[in-house]
Amino acid sequence: MSKAKQVYVTYIRSTPEKVWDALTNPEMTRQYWGHSMVSDWKPGSAWSLRRISDPNFSAACGKVIECTRPGRLVLSWSKPQDPSVVSRASFDIEKIDDEVRLTVVHDELEPESEMLRGISRGWPIVLSSLKSLLETGRGLDSDKLFRR
């Protein structure tokens, strides 16, 4: 059976550098994601998405595959409790005049898996919140949305 893929595109009134920083700076990610995204952002380095209330708990983790500020970031993506199941998330950031097109492609997913269900629900929450933070200075309450 072929692997599954999810694509989410959003347009944000911002600059590629600000969108890049929002994706990779833990102080920014906690404002719209409710988690700290931690890595030194070098190809081959590890990354993890840590819960703010419990930094020892990672919601997701993996390796940095490609990192070209501010245009493209590619990550391998796993659950810490199941590191042998690996998917891939790619972020493409394109400047279009005064706005940015952010394309998130999450692929190499097992069909009908818990991970596929989770990211299909999760990316719209996270990326809606990211857009709100960059355009209004205030993210959405992602934690609450995840718990619904």
> From the CB of 44, what's the least distance to another protein, in Å?
32
Q: What's the N-to-C CA distance of the chain in angstroms?
A: 31
Among 10, 32, 3, 13, smallest CA distance to 92 is for 10
Q: Does 117 bind another protein (CB under 8 A)?
A: no
- The mark string for 52-91 relative to another protein (x by CB under 8 A, - otherwise) is ----------------------------------------
**What are the phi and psi torsion angles at 102 (to 5°)?**
-105, 120
Binder among 101, 105, 107, 113 for another protein (CB under 8 A): 101
- The mark string for 19-38 relative to another protein (x by CB under 8 A, - otherwise) is --------------------
Residue closer to another protein (CB basis): 41 or 123: 123
- Taking the mean position of all CA atoms in its chain, how far away is CA 3? 20
From CA 109, how far away is CA 95, in angstroms rounded?
Answer: 28
Residue closer to another protein (CB basis): 26 or 124: 124
Binder among 2, 44, 96, 111 for another protein (CB under 8 A): 96
Strand pairing partners for 33?
Answer: none
Which residues fall within 8 angstroms of residue 100, CB to CB, at 6 or more apart?
11, 12, 13, 14, 15, 16, 19, 93, 94
Binder among 86, 108, 128, 146 for another protein (CB under 8 A): 128
Contact between 108 and 10 (Cβ < 8 Å): no
Number of residues that bind another protein (CB under 8 A): 24
Residues at the site binding another protein, with contacts judged by CB under 8 A = 8-13, 96-99, 101, 124-125, 128-129, 131-132, 135-136, 140-141, 144-145, 148
